[in-house]
Chains A and B, each alone.
Chain A
Amino acid sequence: MSAHETGEGSKTLIGGQAVSRRTLLKTGVWLAGMSLLAACGQPGAQPSGGGAAPTTAPAAAAPTTAPAAKPTTAAAAAPTTAPAGAAAAPTQAPATTGAAATLEFWAFANERLGFVKDAVQAHPELTINYRVFPYQEMHDKLLAAVTSGRGAPDIVDVEISRFGGFLKGDTVPFVPLNDKIGTDLDSLYQSAATDPWSWKGKIYGVGNELNCCLLAYRKDVMSDLGVPTPFNAWTDVIAAGKKVVAAGKSKLFALHDLHFGDYYILTQSAGSQLFDENGAFVGDNDAGVSAMQWLQDQVYKEQIAGIAPADAQNMWNGPAYWAAFKAEQFVGTFGPPWHIGVWMANVPDQAGKWAVQPLPKGIGAGKPTASFGGTGQCIPTQSKNPDAAWQVIKLANFSKEGALSDFKSRTVYPAFKPAYDLPELKAPNAYFSGANFGEIYSTVAPTLTPFRQSPGWPDASDAVNRLVITPVMQNQKDAKSALNEAKTEIQKTMSGG
């Protein structure tokens, strides 16, 4: 009787030993079953090799480098009253976690993790597994996780324009933080730190960036043309722009025809927002229309601005954009720190030639600044360690250590008010003619128009880009009718149509 006939089947030599077909098959089925079980397991249950290696804080609680003169919020509950030396002491242990709890932290940029790592460095009880995904992918994965009810991390970076989408439906998938923040809320510029991640009175996230927008211009060019600076009103800016254009080399501004950023900044400066306190779109009000019309006028009527060299994936930071500024095609801009701050790296040969100031008056309410951009740290309701997660958020966002770390690594000006006492934030910036950014930002921040979040944010920004920005800036469509059209579509989308 052959092996086949006896049911033993053909045998394969593995590692010098004969393995029957049946054994091979059993092993295969067993492995497949195990793989299936593993695949169905909770992805966040253990660290993967995909992201950064788990970061464990050093065992020894080294003293932090916080300035001795001022208190630090790293020392747990009383951030503004704790003695300076308390920074070195570990904060109170998370209530529901043991020392072994490993937190999952999702982010979409490595650069945004530095200040978190620095802030938790002195806390060995907090072990964090950082995972960094591309921007779109991370938010998509988060949506999949919160919708399916499993796989969400303990802490997640949610970008400001994506947060509104998570408010759709009848459940908000993040832990309300009001009670956890408590009176510490007063230590933040709320328009930048908590308003964008708040809905119906509940705070679901904390952002660390104070993205106040300023006007920046080439001071040397203005001096050469005999233009007095700083500018008091936008009419002064337009007059200066005409002189710049008449000089024959440059235009003043590079305005966007694919992205709503410029319109959004000027709408806030005019005293409004895209949404009201109930989440309804109001971007077509007088402030919005005047802001949009102003932008169109600068390109076609006043002719002091050109269209920004940008592409679909990079509206504010692409190679063509920087090439244009290097070639002095444009000599002015307005925007938040993440935009103006990268001038030093991208146009280094113009160091000392730029200057900054608050936004001039003349459009609507004429507020000296506006907020644009930001990312908040949220705790999904699926988190098994919400208290430990909050501990991390608090250390990173309510401390001078966290603020200083992100300032040093990304030149981020913090939304945490006490950090503006730090000498580093007060240092003059040589690139921008010695401007004291910390002082300017802390001065204008209290005037920010309160941010109004809405479930319709993603729909509104998309509709404004499509139906307003491009038609108005490319085809000279009337700003009011374009905004009315956008409003109709936004209302229809928000009502489920």
Chain B
Amino acid sequence: MQAESTLAGVRPARPRHLARTFTPYLFILPFFTIQAVFLLYPVVSALFLSFYQATGVGARKFIGLGNYVSLVQDPRYLHALLNTTEYALGSILILSPLALLIALAVRSFIVPSDNARSLYRLAYFMPQLTSFVVIALMFALVFDKDYGLLNNSLAGFGLPKIGWLRETSLAMPSVIMVSIWTFVGINSLYFLAGLQNIPHEINEAAAIDGAGRLQGFWYVTLPMLRPTLLFVIIQATIFSYQVFDLPYLLTGGGPSDASLTVVIYLYQAGFQQFKLGYAAAIGYSLGIISIVLSLIQLRVFRRWSEV
């Protein structure tokens, strides 16, 4: 120990200074190394790939923006984009208000007991813990035309059997229904967290000023929920444009592309048609769309907060 102290004492100042400077960076180095290898490199590599005609195994040909030009002329891509937008609108216009309604109900006098509230929170969160494969298998049985739970329930009202996942007009709405079931719980938890952050005093003050429940919600609760709303809508938009698992497992993107999403098309282009450059371009187009939509939403919410 004595020898170590002596050695430490005679160390030149400069290396020690350098060590102090670099030590924090070394600590965070593993994280950034992993990010660089597994995130940054594929992202940059895919960008380069999107400028090449890379089909199957063999040589690649640089075609500049050729893949992007083909994209905007590809009716299947445009159809997939339309389907995905329909899905995103379902997430934003149906799922988000429903989640807010559930959050308000759980927090309101409808559920007076704390234990019951915890039970509701748990119940709503359960789908989030369930594998998409299990959800898809379950709903494939629910939606089955001949033996499904839904059609057999509707038959009680004298309604005809419906091919929920097999008719082109119903496939995407059915996928949206499953998506709502799956994600409404986690979104209502976001809203619950937001509602809990609104001080009681403000609602009480509004009530004293004569605001009813609806007015209190419209003029106090909703504006105070703005950050939560922004978060929920932006993440719903981004995740909606990335949707793959549920429609792929439920319908495979069919029938006749009725539920084809952009990411399913990306997968098909890359791994079934082996058009790797084209698939990379689809991926980048998706990234650009998500960024643009998020920026629009940020701007809209900023304006709302200025009003």
Contacts and interface: CB of A to CB of B under 8 A. Distances in A.
21 contacts: A7-B16, A22-B23, A25-B27, A165-B56, A165-B273, A166-B56, A166-B274, A168-B273, A171-B57, A172-B57, A258-B166, A311-B144, A311-B250, A312-B165, A313-B136, A323-B147, A455-B56, A458-B272, A466-B255, A466-B256, A470-B168
B84 interface: no
Most buried by B among A36, A312, A455: A312
A309 B144 CA distance: 8
A459 B273 contact: yes
A368 interface: no
A496 B53 contact: yes
A169 B55 contact: yes
B254 interface: yes
Contacts of B58: 169-171
Given A32-B30, A170-B58, A462-B268, 14 more contacts: A7-B8, A28-B30, A29-B29, A29-B30, A136-B271, A143-B271, A146-B57, A168-B57, A257-B166, A309-B144, A459-B272, A459-B273, A471-B256, A497-B70
A165 B19 CA distance: 54
B33 to A, nearest CB: 6
Contacts of B145: 309, 320
A199 to B, nearest CB: 12
A258 B29 CA distance: 51
Interface in B254-272: 254-257, 268, 271-272
Interface string A473-497: 0100000000000000000010011
Nearest to B7: A6
A323 B9 CA distance: 83
Contacts of A493: 273
A141 B276 CA distance: 14
Contact of A140 (B27, B144, B271): B271
B23 A25 contact: yes
Interface of A: 1, 6-9, 21-22, 25, 28-29, 32, 36, 39, 136, 139-140, 143, 146-147, 165-173, 257-258, 309, 311-313, 319-320, 323-324, 329, 455, 458-459, 462, 465-467, 470-471, 474, 493, 496-497
Interface string B2-30: 00010011010000100110010011011
Interface in B25-69: 26-27, 29-30, 33, 37, 53, 55-59
A462 B272 contact: yes
A197 B274 CA distance: 17
Interface string B100-126: 000000000000000000000000000
A465 B254 contact: yes
A497 B76 CA distance: 12
Given A25-B27, A458-B273, A462-B268, A470 B57 contact: no
A466 B166 CA distance: 12
A258 B58 CA distance: 33
A270 B164 CA distance: 34
B55 A496 contact: yes
B149 to A, nearest CB: 12
Given A167-B56, A309-B144, A258 B254 contact: yes
B256 A467 contact: yes
B56 A320 contact: no
Nearest to B4: A8
Contacts of B9: 1, 6
